[in-house]
Amino acid sequence: MNKYLKIYTLLFMLPVSLTAQITVDSVLSDIERNNTTLSALRKSVEAEKLGNRTGIYLQNPEAGFSYLWGSPDVIGNRTDINIKQSFDFPTAYGYRRQIADSRNLQADLEYQRQRKDVLLNARLLCADLIYANAVIEEKSNRLAHAQNIADAFQSMFEKGEVSILEPNKAQLNLLNIKKEVEMLYIERNAVLEQLSSLNGGIAIADKVSSESQLMLPSDFDQWYSKAEQNNPALLWLKKEIEVKMQQEKLNRALSLPKASAGYMSEKVVGEHFQGVTIGVSIPLWENKNTVKYAQAQTLALQTMEVDSKLQFYNQIKIQFSKAESLHKTALEYRQLIESSNNAVLLKKALDAGEITLINYLMELSYAYSAMDNLLKSEYELNKALSVLAEYETQ
Cβ-based burial of 229 (10 A; exposed 0-12, middle 13-18, buried ≥19): exposed
Domain ranges of the chain: 2-389
Query: Is the distance from CB of 95 to CB of 365 less than 8 angstroms?
Result: no
Architecture of domain 2-389: Up-down Bundle (1.20)
The predicted-structure confidence for 40-81, as pLDDT tens digits, reads as follows 999 999 999 898 888 777 777 888 888 888 777 767 788 888
The predicted-structure confidence for 197-226, as pLDDT tens digits, reads as follows 999 999 988 888 776 667 787 888 888 888
The predicted-structure confidence for 94-152, as pLDDT tens digits, reads as follows 888 888 898 999 999 999 999 999 999 999 999 999 999 999 999 998 898 888 878 87
pLDDT at 7: 28
**pTM for the complete prediction?**
0.80
List CB contacts of 127: < 8 A, sequence separation 6 or more: 379, 382, 383, 386
- Nearest-CA neighbor of 199 among 53, 351, 36, 46? 36
The predicted-structure confidence for 276-326, as pLDDT tens digits, reads as follows 888 777 776 666 777 788 888 888 988 998 999 999 999 999 989 999 999
The predicted-structure confidence for 14-50, as pLDDT tens digits, reads as follows 333 434 578 888 999 999 999 999 999 999 999 998 9
pLDDT at 19: 47
